[in-house]
Amino acid sequence: MPVFLINVNGERARVDVEPRTSLLTVLRNDLGLKAAKFGCGQTLCGACTVWVDDRPVYACDVPVEAVGDGQVRTLESLGTESAPHPLQRAIVEGQAGQCGYCLPGVIMRAAAFLRDHPAPSRAEVAEALDPNLCRCGSQQRIVNAVLHAAAEAAR
């Protein structure tokens, strides 16, 4: 199988897979990065959202051969419990989750959105998160957490 060198979370990773293998499979099964989740494999739920060059993408729909020199970032590199991203802090403080399966994708999309829209309205946040599904009904808390993180960053 061909070898691909990809940049993930600031490190160079070597993977030996078929070119059409999805970035999601490579992250989860070859690199042991389990944060990005499989939800539908059809770009309809956002559970697999990661960044390539700071833009949110559906990792289920990106073949590894298309990653090239792109810088891939996953939730694992966003923040840690001792040094959380403001959004991670806001989600824990606001208890903005139930099962939490959607959260890695939601957080990556919302964090990218906040970077470009530091002072969004509630409706703008909700619209920005429309590619991501939450089935437990945590949407209101998640939107509150995004707004809270934006407000904190502005202080």
**Residues lying near another protein in the complex (CB under 8 A):** 17-18, 20-22, 25, 28-29, 33-35, 37-42, 44-45, 47, 74-76, 78-81, 84, 88, 91-92, 95, 97-104, 107, 123, 125-127, 129-130, 132-143
> Is residue 31 within 8 Å of 95, Cβ to Cβ?
no
Instruction: Tell the smallest beta-carbon distance from residue 125 to another protein (Å).
Output: 8
Which of 69, 78, 76, 60 has its CA nearest to residue 114?
78
Instruction: Tell the smallest beta-carbon distance from residue 58 to another protein (Å).
Output: 12
Q: Which CB, 18 or 152, lies closer to another protein? A: 18
Which of 97, 94, 95, 87 has its CA nearest to residue 120?
87
Instruction: Tell the smallest beta-carbon distance from residue 56 to another protein (Å).
Output: 14
Q: Which CB, 13 or 84, lies closer to another protein? A: 84
Instruction: Tell the smallest beta-carbon distance from residue 51 to another protein (Å).
Output: 13
CB burial string 95-134: b at 16+ within 10 A, e below: ebbeeebbbbbbbbbbbbbbeeeeebeeeebeebbebbbb
